[in-house]
């Protein structure tokens, strides 16, 4: 993006110093009239800066015009007038005064930069390009800006040529690539776009960025078969490439070639060279695939993601579910604890974590955590059940019955959780020798199971 550049007030002082004192004879016997003239100029100039600072633009302009009456060829005064008019959104006067400043001091970078900013504010892209070219070498950002300006001005061939020149000088850049794609889409020149991407990959056949960009573009244009064949060819010429499998697995899935799809997904998720976000995306797709095709769950269980992916801080809940599927509850606890830190109000994460504390025999943690959460979610029957099971482990029958007696009011459904709840109540009444109550709950359990 292009951001307006700001001038530091310090430079105004520098400009003033140069402009004013260049016009004064360096003579120790300066006459009193010249001294008064100079003091009057300074008073007006600094008054203008003060009024500009509080956005009293009319007074600032008036003070600057008084300065011009004293020194009519002061470049810095014209610059300040242009600056104030710009802030006041009087763009015509701003342009006129900035051009005068540049004519008087053609070497001043800041004057030219301000004129460039003026045209940007007006979305006058052709004039912005004209203003930018003389200062193009001053900042790398300006060279990046130029591609954008050409594009906005509808000068697409110049934009593409400049993007290519930038790539050759500075290397591949994702932002420039996105602009290139945008231009091709705007011009609807799909053929030229694909031709360019293919040629670039031919010149650098091992460049994974160029490969992925070509595959993505072909897919965007609906050329799935050509994208699939391109991915296969890239893998053939780069048999050790992991990035090729990041593209191939989706095509294999669409073709219902599940064995090859799984092989590609495993290569990607276990890779030590691909970036974590890419591997994580493939792992998600792998998990979604297994959800729809449970017969392949063993394949997912055999995946061992590389260390950088495992300890990525992203999507902790998904990692927790992943390790649950792999029947590794201790590992799942780690990630659900992270997920709880990130989303402490998510009741599903809370219940899963509380259950995992039980499953991993961390009974004290399960009890304390569930009791704390019941203060926030007093109607969650599962939390009462987890507390009751923890108390049962500690043989604290009394507190278990008290708490579960409170929770029973929140049983609204006849499901497995309700059966588990009544079974624990039955056991607690047996432990406390309240056989009549135990019999009641036993009858309720039988009734629910018969439905």
Kindly indicate the confidence band of residue 31, based on its pLDDT and cuts at 50, 70 and 90: low
Tens digits of per-residue pLDDT, 328-358? 899 899 989 988 988 888 999 999 999 999 9
- What does pLDDT average to over the chain? 86
- pLDDT of res. 313: 43
Closest CA to 117 of 105, 103, 131, 104: 131
Per-residue pLDDT, averaged over 400-417, amounts to 91
Give yes or no for residue 27 having a pLDDT over 90: no
- pLDDT of res. 309: 54
Tens digits of per-residue pLDDT, 175-234? 888 898 889 888 878 888 898 889 888 888 888 888 988 888 888 888 989 999 999 999
232: tokens are 């296969």
- pLDDT of res. 358: 95
Give yes or no for residue 311 having a pLDDT over 60: no
Give the start-to-end residue ranges of the domains of the chain.
Answer: 1-138
Give yes or no for residue 235 having a pLDDT over 60: yes
Per-residue pLDDT, averaged over 264-282, amounts to 85
- pLDDT of res. 433: 93
Superfamily of domain 1-138: Tetratricopeptide repeat domain (1.25.40.10)
- pLDDT of res. 431: 94
- pLDDT of res. 363: 95
- pLDDT of res. 304: 64
Kindly indicate the confidence band of residue 10, based on its pLDDT and cuts at 50, 70 and 90: very low
196's CB contacts (< 8 A; 6+ apart) are none
Highest-confidence range of 257-261, 271-275, 422-426, by mean pLDDT? 422-426
Tens digits of per-residue pLDDT, 150-171? 999 999 999 999 998 998 888 8
Per-residue pLDDT, averaged over 374-400, amounts to 94
Per-residue pLDDT, averaged over 393-408, amounts to 93
- pLDDT of res. 366: 95
Confidence (pTM): 0.51
CA pair distance 131, 150, nearest whole angstrom: 13
Tens digits of per-residue pLDDT, 96-145? 999 999 999 999 999 999 999 999 999 999 999 999 999 988 888 898 89
């Amino acid at each position: 993006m292009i951001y307006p550049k700001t001038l530091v007030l310090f430079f105004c002082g520098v400009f003033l110093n140069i402009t004013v004192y260049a016009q004064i004879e360096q003579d120790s016997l300066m006459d009193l009239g010249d001294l008064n003239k100079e003091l009057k100029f300074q008073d007006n100039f600094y008054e203008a800066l003060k009024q500009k600072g509080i956005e009293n633009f009319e007074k600032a302009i008036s003070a600057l015009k008084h300065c011009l009456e004293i020194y009519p060829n002061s470049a810095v005064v014209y610059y300040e007038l242009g600056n104030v008019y710009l802030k006041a959104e009087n763009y015509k006067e701003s342009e006129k005064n900035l051009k005068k400043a540049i004519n008087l001091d053609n070497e001043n970078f800041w004057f030219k930069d301000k004129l460039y900013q003026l045209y940007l504010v007006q979305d006058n892209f052709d004039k912005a390009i004209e203003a930018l070219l003389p200062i193009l070498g001053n900042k790398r950002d300006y060279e990046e800006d130029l591609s954008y300006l050409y594009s906005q001005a509808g000068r697409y061939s110049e934009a593409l040529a400049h993007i290519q020149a930038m790539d050759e000088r500075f290397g591949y850049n994702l932002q420039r690539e996105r602009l290139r794609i945008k231009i091709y889409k705007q011009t609807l020149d799909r053929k030229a776009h694909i031709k360019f991407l293919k040629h670039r990959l031919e010149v650098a056949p091992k460049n994974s960025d160029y490969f992925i960009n070509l595959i993505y573009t072909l897919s965007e244009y609906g050329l799935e078969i050509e994208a699939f064949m391109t991915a296969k060819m890239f893998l053939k010429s780069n048999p050790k490439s992991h990035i090729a499998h990041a593209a191939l697995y989706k095509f294999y899935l669409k073709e219902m070639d599940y064995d090859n799809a799984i092989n590609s997904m495993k290569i990607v998720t276990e890779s030590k060279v691909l970036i974590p976000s890419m591997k994580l995306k493939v792992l998600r797709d792998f998990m979604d695939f297994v959800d729809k095709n449970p017969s392949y769950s063993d394949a997912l269980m055999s995946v061992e993601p590389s260390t950088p992916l495992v300890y990525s801080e992203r999507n902790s809940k998904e990692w927790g579910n992943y390790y649950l599927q792999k029947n590794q509850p201790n590992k799942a606890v780690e990630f659900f604890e992270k997920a709880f830190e990130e989303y402490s109000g998510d009741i599903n994460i809370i219940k899963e974590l509380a259950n995992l504390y039980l499953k991993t025999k961390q009974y004290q943690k399960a009890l304390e955590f569930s009791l704390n959460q019941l203060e926030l979610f007093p109607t969650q029957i599962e939390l009462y059940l987890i507390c009751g099971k923890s108390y049962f482990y500690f043989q604290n029958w009394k507190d278990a019955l008290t708490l579960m007696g409170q929770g029973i009011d929140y049983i609204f459904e006849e499901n497995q959780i309700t059966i588990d709840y009544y079974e624990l109540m039955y056991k607690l009444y047996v432990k406390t020798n309240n056989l009549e109550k135990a019999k009641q709950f036993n009858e309720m359990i039988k009734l629910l199971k018969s439905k």
